Structure 1
Amino acid sequence: MSDAELAARLVREAGTLADRMRAGGLEAQTKTSVSDVVTAADHAAERQVIETLATERPDDGVLGEEGADHRGSTGRIWVIDPVDGTYNFLAGLDWWCSAIALTDGDELLLGAIHHPASGRTFVGGPGLASTVNGVPLEPIADRPLAESCLATYLHPPFLDHEVGEAFDRMAGRAATMRMLGSGSMDATAVAEGRLHVICQHSVPPWDALPGAAIICGAGGVTRRVRAAGVEWYVAGAPTAVDEVCAALTEGVWRRP
C-alpha cells in the first residue's frame, strides 16, 4: 500500500469512528478555552490511527494533537488531527474532518483529509496532484485578495491587541471573510476554489500541514510570516497570499 493510499485509509477510518461515537453521545472537556475542546472520540480516533501505523509503518514517527509523540527511526513523521473542528463536531455542525500529513524532515510529502458528512476524501501534496475520491481537482485559479474569500479565525482576546490590528489590515482588504472553525476543511474548500485564501496565526502542525499539502497539490502556495509578535500561516491563491503577507507586515512582501 502506498503512503497516499494509507493516508486515505487512516483518515476515512478515523472519521468513521469519530462520527459513530458522536451519534452515540459525547461529553467534552475544555482545553484552553470554551472553543478549544476535546472528546473521547478525538482520543479514540487518534489511538486507532497510531495502532494502524504501528503495523503498516512501524519505523515512522507520529505526532498527534491529542498527545502522540514518537520520532521513529526513518525521519518521517505522520502528523495526526483525529477530529479537526471539534467544537463544530460536538455542536452537531458538519464542518469538521479527520486529517493527517506525512513529513520527511522539513519536507512535506502529502496530506489526506476525510469529511464524514459528505463521504469525500482529499489526498495530495507538493509532488502529488490533489484528488477528491480519486478524481483530480482543477488547478487553483490565481486571484487578488480584493476578489478573494478569506477563511480565518481570531480568538476574541486578541481583538484589542496588536495582533488584532494586523488582522484588521489583512482582513479588511479581502472581498469577504468566513470563520468556519476547521482549518483543514477550509483548505479543502480553497483547493476546490470555493474559498480562496487562509490566514491564521500560531497554527500548530496538525492544523496546517494536511491542508497545506492539499492546497499545494492543487497549485496553490503556502507561506509563514511574522507580524505583531506572532507567526502567521497563509495558504491559497498565490497573489492573494502575497497580498495577505504584505498587509500583515505593512510593507511590500515578495516571494523568495
Structure 2
Amino acid sequence: MSASADPRADAVEERTLADDARLAGELVRDAGRLALRMRAGGIEADTKTSISDVVTEADHAAEALIVERLARARPRDGVLGEEGSAQDGASGRTWVIDPVDGTYNFVSGLTWWCSALALTDGDELLLGAVYHPHDDALYVGGPGLPTTRNGVPLPKIEDRPLGESCLTTYLHPPFYGDQVGQAFGRVVAGVATLRMLGSGSMDLCAIAQGQLHVACQHSVPPWDRLPGAALVLGVGGAHRRTTAAGKEWSVTGVPSAVDAVCAALES
C-alpha cells in the first residue's frame, strides 16, 4: 500500500490547528475532571525530589488517560509526559503533558492547580491547553491561535513596564543565598510586587488574562513551560529563555517586562 493510500496518513494531512485545539481541550478537561474526582475520594502523595515535589495516583491516571486517547486519535505523534510517558512519533510532532500541574496545591486542598498540555512540531510551539477544574475554565491558544477561555477570545495583553508589573515565580528558599538568588534579586528589585502560587501553567493563564504580568523561573521543564507560554503568545505576550548564574531561565509575560527581566538576569 502506498503512503497516499494509507487512510491514517490522509487523515493527518487533513487535520487543522483547530482540530488539534479541540482535541487538546477535550484531553485536559477530561484529565482534570478525573483528577478532581480522585481527590474527592482521597489520595496519598509520594515525594519525588523534595517535600514540595510530590506525585499522586491522580497524576499517573490523568497522564495515562491522555496518552491512551492520543494513541487512538494521533497515532503518528510523539508524547512526553511529566510522569514518565515518552514516545517518539513519526510525524515530528510531540504532545507535552502535565497531568496535574501544582500537585502540592492539589494534595493540600488548594485550588491553584490544573491539567495542561502543549503540542510542538520540532522546535515550533503550536498550541497549549490548560483546564482549571475549580473554575471549570478551559484555556486554549498559541502563537497562531488566539487564546480563548471557555471558547471566548481573551483580549490582547496590555504592555507595561516592569516597575508596574506583578512578578510570579517558583523559587525555593534554598536558592536565595547563592548566585541564583542574587540573579533573582536583581529582577525582584525592579518589580511592583511578587507572588509565588505554585502552578506555572495557572500563573501563565493569569498572565494571559491580565491578572499577573510576568513569570520568571529557572530550570523549567517543557511540561511546566510550554502550555502556558502558548496561551500568553496567543494574546500577544512574549516568551524568552536566557542564561544567568549557570541556569537557564524562562521568562514569559508582557513584552516590556519580559525584556527588563532578561536584562536584569543577564547584567
Please classify the TM superposition score into its range, dividing by the shorter chain length. over 0.9
In the other structure, the counterpart of 1:138 is: 155
- Find the counterpart in structure 1 of residue 123 from structure 2: 106
Q: Hey, what's the Cα distance between the residues in 2 that align with 1:151 and 1:210?
A: 16
Q: Indicate the residue corresponding to 1:10 in structure 2.
A: 27
Pick the aligned partner of 1:224 from 216, 224, 241. 241
Q: Deviations over 1:95-119 (max 9, x none)?
A: 0000000000000000000000000
**Once superposed, what is the RMSD of the aligned Cα atoms?**
0.6
1:144 deviation in Å?
0.5
Aligned-pair CA distance for 1:28: 0.4
1:66-215 equivalent positions in 2, closer than 5 A? 66-215=83-232
What's the TM-score, normalizing by structure 2? 0.93
Counterparts of 2:167 and 2:140, CA distance in 1? 22
- Secondary structure of 2:160 counterpart: coil
| Cα separation, 2, equivalents of 1:247 and 1:199 | 11
Distance 1:36 1:106 in 2: 28
Q: What letter corresponds to residue 246 of structure 2 in structure 1? A: G
Task: Name structure 2 gaps, 5 residues minimum.
Answer: 1-14
Structure 1 gap segments, 5+ residues each = 251-256
What does the per-residue CA deviation read over 1:64-104, in whole Å, with 9 as the maximum and x for residues that have no partner?
00000001100000000000000000000000000000000
Letter of the 1:6 partner, please give it. L
- 1:254 alignment counterpart: none
Given the alignment of the two structures, is residue 42 of structure 1 paired with residue 59 of structure 2, yes or no?
yes
User: Which stretches of structure 1, 4 residues or more, deviate above 6 A after TM superposition?
Assistant: none
1:139-163 residue CA offsets vs partner (Å, 9 max, x unmatched): 0000000000001111221111000
Q: Which amino acid aligns with 1:72?
A: G
Q: Aligned-pair distance for 1:177? A: 0.4
Normalising by the residue count of structure 1, what TM-score does the alignment of the two structures yield? 0.97
Q: Which amino acid counterpart does residue 22 of structure 2 have in structure 1? A: E
Query: 1:23 Cα shift?
Result: 0.4
Q: Which structure is larger by alpha-carbon Rg, 1 or 2?
A: 2
**1:16-72 per-position Cα deviation (integer Å, ceiling 9, x unaligned):** 000000000010000000100000000000000000001100110000000000011
* Deviation readout 1:146-190 (Å, 9 max, x if unpaired): 000001111221111000000111012110000000000000000
SS of the aligned residue for 2:135 comes to coil
Q: Which amino acid aligns with 2:102?
A: G
How many correspondences in the alignment? Answer: 250
- Partner residue of 1:248? 265
In structure 2, C-alpha distance between the alignment counterparts of 1:144 and 1:36, rounded to whole Å: 33
- The yes-or-no answer on 1:23 pairing with 2:40 is yes
